[in-house]
Amino acid sequence: MQTTLTLVLTSGGVDSTSLLYLLHESSRVVPVFIDYAQRAARREHAVSSYHARVLGLELRQLDLSALGESMRRELRAKLHVPLPHRNLVVLSVALSYAAQIGASEIAIASIKDDLGGYASASRQFFGAFAEVARSLGNTTITTPLLEYEKTRVIRSGLSLGIDYAQTHSCMVSENQHCGRCSQCLSRRRAFRAAGVSEAEDFYAQPPPV
């Protein structure tokens, strides 16, 4: 009998969607979407809801949009991610929510490509936060995809039948992917390396030459 309940942080992107499907194969999971006033929050929530329904799960939403908007007002430019140290914020909220629903594990979909990109996506950070979580109630923080590059993530997800057209990766647009931001370029490269063709009209613009 499966007794461990795992809270899976999902943002509707390739990595977190893949993680949700992978863990659903062997664990009791609760997908959780956190709105922190990121640009594409509505689209990210929509595709997260889609995959939760496919798996017969209920997507839980935690609303930090007011906090995100307050933080954004202090910025000179309207950034995609208004929260500095985002993983610190979302994991802290997830840890509190996990205690509320009785989840003993929290899974976050950071991958090998993310390491070193920013301070709260490092091995050191995840290790330190895992110690904090254990000290507050023996909750485990897991990063099951941390040794995966995005191409491997995609191949694993395709073997589970994931419809990646129903994911959102763009940092700029809430609807059609712009095709030019760093997340779009990373996505393009990974799908190309995996030998997968996306729809011709999936991106608004071709990649830069």
- CATH number for 13: 3.40.50.620
Question: Which tokens belong to 88?
Answer: 């610190």
Q: How far is CA 142 from CA 69, 110, 156, in A?
A: 29, 10, 18
- Percentage of residues of the chain with pLDDT beyond 70: 95
Q: Residue 117 has what pLDDT?
A: 79
Q: Residue 189 has what pLDDT?
A: 95
Query: 62-92 pLDDT, tens per residue?
Result: 999 898 888 877 765 555 666 788 899 999 9
- How many folded domains does the chain comprise? 1
C-beta atoms surrounding 27 within 10 Å: 15
Best CA proximity match to 35, nearest among 26, 44, 23, 22: 44
The range of the structural domain enclosing residue 126 comes to 5-164
Q: By three-state DSSP, how is residue 59 classified?
A: coil
Residue 45 lies in a domain: yes
Residue 27 lies in a domain: yes
Lowest mean pLDDT among 22-36, 41-55, 131-145, 194-208: 194-208
Residue 207 lies in a domain: no
Mean residue pLDDT of the chain comes to 92
Q: How far is CA 165 from CA 17, 86, 91, 203, in A?
A: 11, 26, 27, 11
Residue 177 lies in a domain: no
